[in-house]
Amino acid sequence: MLIAVLLLFALALAAPLIDRAAGRWTGAVLALGPLAAFLIIARWLPDVAAGETITQVHAWADALDIRLSFYLDGLSLMFALLISGIGTLIVFYAGTYLEGDPRRGRFYAWLLIFMASMLGLVLADNIISMFIFWELTSVSSYFLIGYDHHRESARKSALQAMLVTGGGGLALLAGLIMLGVAAGSMEVSQIINEGEVLREHAWYLPIVILVFAGCFTKSAQFPFHFWLPNAMEAPTPVSAYLHSSTMVKAGVYLLARLNPALGATDVWLYTLVIFGGVTMLVGAYLAIRQVYLKKILAYSTVSALGVLVFLTGLSNVDSPEAAQYAGKAFAVFLLAHALYKATLFLVAGTITHETGEKDVTKLGGLRRKMPLTALAAALAGASMAGLPPFFGFLGKELLLDTTVKNPDWMLPLTIAAGVAGFLFVIVALLIAVKPFWGALKETAQHPHEAPFAMWFGPALLGSLSLLFGLFLNPLARPIIEPTASAVMGVPQEVKLALWHGINLPLMISVAAVVLGILAFLGLPIISRILKPFDALNRIGPERGYYALFNGTLKLASFQTRLLQSGYLRVYLFITITMSVGLIGWQILQLDVLPIVDQFREIEVVPFVIENLYTLIVAALILIGTFGAVHSRSRLSAIASLGVVGYGVALIYIIHGAPDLAITQFLIETLTVILFVLVFYHLPQFPRISSVPARVRDLVVSVAAGVMMTVLVLIATNLETEKISDYFAENSYELGQGRNIVNVILVDFRSMDTLGEIVVLVIAAVGVLALLKLKPPREQERKNNPHEADGREEAS
């Protein structure tokens, strides 16, 4: 299975080159890739139909429990076949659809990356590799949706899809990790047997919520459904692919996949039934409120996803019969929907491609111009509307069977399913009948029958809708049965039949079809009645998305203006406050009384006499410091600085550090000279800080000063053995010198000195560069002050 996935990835990388080489045959050539993948997967169909599962493991990051392992059972087989099968037709179709577009090569690259990721997603056994593919589908769909990236709406929709599904994806990541940790394995094939453990685990609820967050966003469940219709900015082949069998079904896939492990609890059941049910109805309602072909299909997709989630939930009901029906219905509806939805999207694409018109109300009578397309549409439409003997009929029957057989909540659920069925009929008529029947309407382009590549796919898929319905047991059962088994977690025996006798579901079906046709005929009137309710959209979830989006941006710029204000003094204030806070907090944890006590014993007069020199020098330094702070003239501030520096040098002399003292004297002198040289022509200090600012800064700096004083006292108060005796003892013998400080500098710790002169070298290079290397503009202005003035521009 790895080969199938890697093949598609490799093909994606080669696609731009193949596009250049193969010209108009690109679609056909590239379609061989997914076709090969289809065949590779289909090879296992007999085994899976016989109830086996296949596992393959390839090493990746085993220490992290991440493997490229694959797991093939009914569910993954079904999805893999749809992905590669429909993928083949889409690739073929797109070659013609995008004929002459210079971006086609890149388009194929993204499409094939998407296809490979999708295939990897459904085949993966390891949940983290599954997540990796999951994220790749989000990313590659961003580029597919944003194909027409010169349009702002396309960019916006792509971003929206990515943020919504990406956000859910991150929740899912946390959920999957917790799932893996809780189940003790990262492999789906193990996890599905750990249902007992998981349901008892303390993390069960968080896991379920996080998985829901991931799946509902990906599968466009209400209230996250809004990104899906917006994603119709994509070229039609992409829409057909993403929304019939792939991207949006990923969430459904994962829910079904984890159904045996996480299901059978109230929270699982009710959440899925409620969200699925609401989505089913909201989607279908919104679908009939649209006029653009692809928007109608998009909302009907939302609705269909709702149905699938609804059925996943119902497969956990107490009534075993209803649960079994739900599993079967899930499998059948999944397949039926994929077939008819892909067809209808492609038909919609063909219509728009040929006529240049997207608005369904402005289309009509195309059946004569495009008979094959019309036929494909009719087949798929019939399946969608649920007419016998089409496969879609079975899907709808089983859905109704499930709700009818389930004793709890029978009435509301059945009504919901029935209403959804009724709305589906309208949608099917809108897409499959409205553009083709009635009088031919004038359109921007003169329509012709589509080229072979563009009618072949829809026609094939449409026919399959019929064939599967006609040959239920030989054709559909081998795949439906294992799929239902995988969803239920236990092997199922599935018998499929169109005719169940005259029962409630059938009657509801018939009613839905009849009412649907009537409503379709009266649609203009109904639309007028429903129009006022469109205002509700304004308070819909999409508004929430934008509110959140813009709110985040506002918050971002607010906090950034607050923190990164541009005022250095604020930065310093925060930094110093932070330091005083953290260090001071720890000091306050200490018992500093012993230190204070020690100083209480000091007698003033002997102390002063003993430390007279130090005291005098200290006073000198303090005066200098005060002068530096308080002085209003630059020169006296610099002089005060000199006083401080010389004072420090005196301290070094008093305390036995002649080398330090000499160095300090020299450096201080040099520093003062540099100060005078550099700041000679600056203005006087104005007092520009406000009084509160000064008081605030003073408080913080004094606190910092006190803190440092305490720290020094603490450090000097400790009795510690120091390493320095070593230097004294070995200075002459090992270091050959009698000045121990110098021996440390050039021998014991010569690396420090080497580093020190490197700093000096860099500083000198820096000074030179600063003074000699000025931006060309400034240099020019300096050379000819008059000419350059006018040319100065803001950089």
Considering only residues 596 to 615 of the shown chain, the ones binding another protein according to CB under 8 A are 599, 602, 610-611, 614-615
- Pull the structure tokens for residue 615: 């005291």
Which residues have C-beta within 8 Å of that of residue 458, sequence separation ≥ 6? 342, 343, 346, 347, 350, 373, 376, 377, 380
Q: Which residue has the tokens 């790749």?
A: 136
State which residue, 381 or 642, has the beta carbon closest to another protein: 642
635 binds another protein (CB under 8 A): no
Q: Please state the closest distance from residue 754 (CB atom) to another protein, in A.
A: 6
Among 25, 500, 761, 787, binds another protein (CB under 8 A): 761
What single string gives the DSSP state of each residue in 505-527?
A: HHHHHHHHHHHHHHHHHTHHHHH
Query: Are the CB atoms for 240 and 346 separated by under 8 Å?
Result: yes
Q: How far apart are CA 208 and CA 258, in angstroms?
A: 10
Q: Please state the closest distance from residue 231 (CB atom) to another protein, in A.
A: 15
Widest distance between CA atoms in the chain:
119
Q: Which residues from 129-188 bind another protein, rule CB under 8 A?
A: 131-132, 135-136, 139, 142, 146, 149-150, 155, 159, 162-163, 166-167, 170-171, 173-174, 177-178, 181
Q: Which residues from 717-736 bind another protein, rule CB under 8 A?
A: 718, 720-729, 731-736
Residue 710 burial by Cβ neighbours in a 10 Å radius (0-12, 13-18, 19+): middle
State which residue, 185 or 742, has the beta carbon closest to another protein: 742
Q: How far apart are CA 781 and CA 630, in angstroms?
A: 37
State which residue, 52 or 659, has the beta carbon closest to another protein: 659
Q: Please state the closest distance from residue 120 (CB atom) to another protein, in A.
A: 10
State which residue, 62 or 266, has the beta carbon closest to another protein: 62
Q: Please state the closest distance from residue 21 (CB atom) to another protein, in A.
A: 17
- Pull the structure tokens for residue 472: 């239920």
Spell out the alpha helix ranges (H) of 356-451.
371-385, 391-405, 410-432
State which residue, 150 or 495, has the beta carbon closest to another protein: 150
Least Cα distance to 427 among 516, 530, 346 occurs for 516
Q: Which residues from 764-793 bind another protein, rule CB under 8 A?
A: 764-776, 778
Q: How far apart are CA 160 and CA 157, in angstroms?
A: 5
State which residue, 13 or 32, has the beta carbon closest to another protein: 13
Binding segment for another protein (CB under 8 A), chosen from 70-78, 82-90, 537-545, 567-575, is 567-575
Q: Please state the closest distance from residue 597 (CB atom) to another protein, in A.
A: 13
Q: How far apart are CA 203 and CA 183, in angstroms?
A: 10
Q: How far apart are CA 252 and CA 262, in angstroms?
A: 14
Residue 209: strand, helix, or coil: helix
φ/ψ of 57, rounded to 5, equals -125, 130
Q: Which residues from 501-560 bind another protein, rule CB under 8 A?
A: 552-553, 555-557, 559-560
State which residue, 318 or 752, has the beta carbon closest to another protein: 752
Q: Which residues from 679-718 bind another protein, rule CB under 8 A?
A: 679, 682-683, 685-686, 688-689, 697-698, 700-702, 704-716, 718
Q: Which residues from 94-133 bind another protein, rule CB under 8 A?
A: 106, 128, 131-132
Q: Please state the closest distance from residue 17 (CB atom) to another protein, in A.
A: 12
Task: Quote the distance between the C-alpha of residue 348 and its chain's center.
Answer: 30
Q: Which residues from 642-671 bind another protein, rule CB under 8 A?
A: 644-645, 648, 651-652, 654-660, 662-664, 666-667, 670-671
Which residues have C-beta within 8 Å of that of residue 229, sequence separation ≥ 6? 286, 290, 295, 298, 299, 302
Q: Please state the closest distance from residue 112 (CB atom) to another protein, in A.
A: 15
Query: Are the CB atoms for 190 and 183 separated by under 8 Å?
Result: yes
Q: Please state the closest distance from residue 579 (CB atom) to another protein, in A.
A: 5
Binding segment for another protein (CB under 8 A), chosen from 76-84, 256-264, 318-326, 618-626, is 618-626
632 binds another protein (CB under 8 A): no
Q: Please state the closest distance from residue 620 (CB atom) to another protein, in A.
A: 10
Among 503, 537, 564, 636, binds another protein (CB under 8 A): 564
Least Cα distance to 595 among 706, 713, 431, 507 occurs for 713
State which residue, 35 or 628, has the beta carbon closest to another protein: 628
State which residue, 55 or 742, has the beta carbon closest to another protein: 742
Partners of 663 in the β-ladder:
none
Q: Which residues from 456-495 bind another protein, rule CB under 8 A?
A: none
Q: Please state the closest distance from residue 124 (CB atom) to another protein, in A.
A: 12
Exposure of 741 in the CB half-sphere (CA atoms within 13 A):
8
Binding residues for another protein, rule CB under 8 A, total: 185
Least Cα distance to 692 among 703, 700, 680 occurs for 700
Site string for another protein, 391-430 (x = CB under 8 A): ----------------------------------------
Rg, C-alpha atoms of the chain: 39
Look up residue 642 and give its amino acid: G
Spell out the alpha helix ranges (H) of 98-151.
104-123, 127-145
Site string for another protein, 55-94 (x = CB under 8 A): ----xxxxxx-x----------------------------
Q: Please state the closest distance from residue 77 (CB atom) to another protein, in A.
A: 25
Q: Please state the closest distance from residue 419 (CB atom) to another protein, in A.
A: 36
- Pull the structure tokens for residue 668: 């201080």
CB atoms within 10 A of CB 763: 10
Binding segment for another protein (CB under 8 A), chosen from 295-303, 397-405, 454-462, 639-647, is 639-647
φ/ψ of 66, rounded to 5, equals -110, 120
Query: Are the CB atoms for 87 and 101 separated by under 8 Å?
Result: no
- Pull the structure tokens for residue 299: 């909302």
589 binds another protein (CB under 8 A): yes
State which residue, 502 or 770, has the beta carbon closest to another protein: 770
